[in-house]
């Protein structure tokens, strides 16, 4: 019962992050990838961050194959692997050849799901400009 409830919460958080991320505005306190950033860090909870290059996109199965750098929070070396996406809206930033910074979670045993993705290498304006 607890495992089912935990998976529901992870799915709900993944969908929320994807929806907020697709609005084009980073949440307050969120890290914004910058030009030349190569670090990977764990995010709060069960999420992980990495950077990589999109190798293949399958819109029918909502999966993406990424060649990503090391993921320190999981002690993974650089590798290519397939990820599912939490929300099909994420696929717009995941085109073959695109360099991306992304967040992901393990939804089920060995089922890695991207919850947020942003193009890498672009200068990002201050997301808080204009806030009072």
Closest CA to 54 of 41, 45, 63, 46: 63
Least confident of 27-31, 44-48, 73-77, 90-94: 27-31
More confident residue, 43 or 119: 119
Calculate mean pLDDT across residues 78-95: 92
The pLDDT assigned to 49 comes to 96
0.85 surpassed by pTM: no
Q: Give the start-to-end residue ranges of the domains of the chain.
A: 2-23+35-119
Placement of tokens 């890695």 in the chain: 112
- Domain 2-23+35-119 in this protein, CATH class: mainly beta
**Tokens at residue 12, please?**
């709900």
- What does the DSSP 8-state code read for residue 26? P
Closest CA to 85 of 106, 101, 64: 64
What are the DSSP calls for 67-124, one per residue?
A: EE--BGGGTBPSEEEEEEESSGGGGGG--TT-EEEEEEEEEETTEEEEEEEEESSPPP
The pLDDT assigned to 24 comes to 46
Q: Are 40 and 73 in contact (CB under 8 A)?
A: yes
| Statement: residue 82 has pLDDT above 90 | yes
């Amino acid at each position: 019962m607890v495992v089912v409830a935990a998976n529901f919460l992870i799915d709900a958080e993944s969908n929320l992050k994807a929806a907020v991320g697709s609005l084009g505005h980073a949440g307050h306190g969120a890290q914004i990838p910058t030009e030349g950033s190569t670090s990977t860090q764990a995010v709060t909870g069960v999420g992980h961050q990495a950077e990589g290059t999109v190798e293949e996109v399958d819109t029918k199965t909502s999966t993406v194959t990424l060649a990503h750098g090391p993921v320190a929070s999981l002690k993974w070396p650089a590798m290519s692997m397939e990820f599912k996406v939490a929300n099909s809206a994420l696929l717009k930033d995941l085109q073959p050849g695109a360099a991306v910074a992304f967040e992901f979670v393990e939804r089920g045993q060995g089922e890695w799901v991207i919850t947020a993705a942003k193009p890498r290498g672009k200068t990002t304006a201050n997301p808080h400009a204009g806030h009072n």
